[in-house]
Amino acid sequence: MKKPLWWIKLTNFEYWSFWFFYLPTVPYGLYLALRSGSLAYFTSVNPAVPLSGMQGQPKQDILKLLDNKYLPKSLYFKHNSEFEIVKSEIEKKQIELPFIIKPEVGERGKGVEKIESFEELRDYLKEYMQENKADFIIQEFLKEPIELGVLYYRLPNNLKYKVNELNNNNQNKGRLKKFKNSAITSIVQKEFLTVTGNGKKTLEALIEDSDRARFQKKRLEKEFAQEWNMILPKDEKIVLEPIGNHCRGTKFLDGNKYITEKNLTTFDEIMKPLENYYYGRFDIKVSSLEDFKQGKGIKIMEVNGVASEPAHIYDPKMPILKAYKDIFWHMKIIQVISCQNKKDGTPYASFKQIWKIVSDEFKKTFF
């Protein structure tokens, strides 16, 4: 007998709402704020972008600073760009179908779509971008089969000496021993929402057999209307969602075992052009996990700022207490970097700015 969706949501924290899941972190956040002297302590961690990338970080502002060898082909357009102009620029840039379109400023996968034809592009521009008046990016769809989210931090140069000084001071021994000058602290491997045929069941029935797919059933019924009642041949696989976003059915798996000195060295190199950027998650694609462990073949789709979660915690096998422990650890990393940047002259945001972030998120969630 299938478990009802409400029970699955209740008993698996990966499905809990953002607000409810993060509620237990509030006391520790207030403690860090008290130690830092501001509720907005986290807003100085990445001086290179507004509010450290907490909200409304333009994607291209960061990507354009990176070495092209790590990037897919991309184009930026204003929200009111006409279809024919967009199509012409895509053809000039030699970006092939299918490609990805996404808002220049976005979050949690909202508005991100894989475009299979120029007819789909025309409809998308008309229905979404014009309504939201959002500038957007066209990005090459990378063929690499493995998608990862890599959370990385580095300490400001001025802090490097102070950390070592504290570690060598007997009185403070161990206080900051666990902080390295740079580190990859979380890797999430994304498993796309997929069903496999058995030669007997329709696509609808296969979706009904998958708890994860059942959460997406209404949307999938529209997107796969033609295939809905077709029987899938044995062992044939259909990727139901090509966008690696958790709220769209992608399973997040703990990939921390893939952290190596070699891929850390590669990310240290990637970060060199990003002045005043110390903490963030890189959404990447790679040809194989072995290549990634060697620090090879990395293609960066997006860089997110201080709002980045250690997304490996959403692995279905992750114990909830371990998930919170990892969140608290990352909150502390943010506080250490932010406080040093504050000492070096980067101010915290005002209470008014923080209140706007909170109220905007509240409205998105509940209204």
Co-location of 50 and 176 in the same domain: yes
Which among 241, 272, 299 is the end of a domain?
241
Question: Which among 287, 283, 219 is positioned nearest to 249, based on CA atoms?
Answer: 219
How far is it, in rounded angstroms, from Cα 281 to Cα 252?
Answer: 14
- 21/113 same-domain check: no
**Are 180 and 262 found together in one domain?**
yes
Residue 235 sits in the same domain as residue 262 = no
Sign of the alpha-carbon dihedral angle for 266, 268, 269, 271: positive
Mark whether 263 and 330 lie in a shared domain: yes
Q: What is the pLDDT of residue 267?
A: 97
Give the pLDDT score at 283: 95
Residues 135, 256: one domain? no
Q: Kindly state whether residue 65 falls inside one of the protein's structural domains.
A: no
Q: Is residue 73 part of a domain?
A: no
pTM over 0.75: yes
Query: How far does the chain reach from its first CA to its final CA, in angstroms?
Result: 34
Looking at the structure, tell me whether residues 215 and 187 fall in a common domain. no
In-domain check, residue 166? yes
Reported in sequence order, the residue ranges of the chain that DSSP labels E, i.e. its strands, are 74-77, 99-103, 113-115, 136-140, 146-154, 182-191, 193-196, 237-241, 251-254, 279-286, 299-304
Extract the residue ranges of the chain whose pLDDT is less than 70.
Answer: 56-57, 106-109, 129-131, 158-178, 361-367
- One domain, residues 259 and 330: yes
Answer yes or no: do 29 and 113 share one domain. no
On whether both 114 and 217 belong to a single domain, the answer is no
- Cα separation values, 277 from 95, 184, 273, 280, Å: 29, 15, 9, 8
Strands (E), 141-298: 146-154, 182-191, 193-196, 237-241, 251-254, 279-286
Q: What is d(CA 365, CA 217) in angstroms, rounded to the nearest whole number? A: 21
Number of domains in the chain: 3
Q: What is the C-alpha to C-alpha distance for residues 75 and 136, in angstroms, rounded to an integer?
A: 8
pLDDT reported for residue 363: 63
Mark whether 171 and 202 lie in a shared domain.
no
Residue 361 inside a domain? The answer is no
Closest-CA residue to 357 (of 21, 107, 48, 62): 107
Q: Name the residue range of residue 183's domain.
A: 9-60+145-191+252-338
According to the model, what pLDDT value does residue 80 have?
85
Closest CA to 189 of 60, 317, 57: 317
pLDDT per position as a tens digit, 54-83 = 876 677 778 888 999 999 999 999 888 889
Identify whether residues 267 and 321 lie together within a single domain.
yes
Partners of residue 82 on adjacent β-strands: none
**Dmax of the chain from CA atoms?**
70
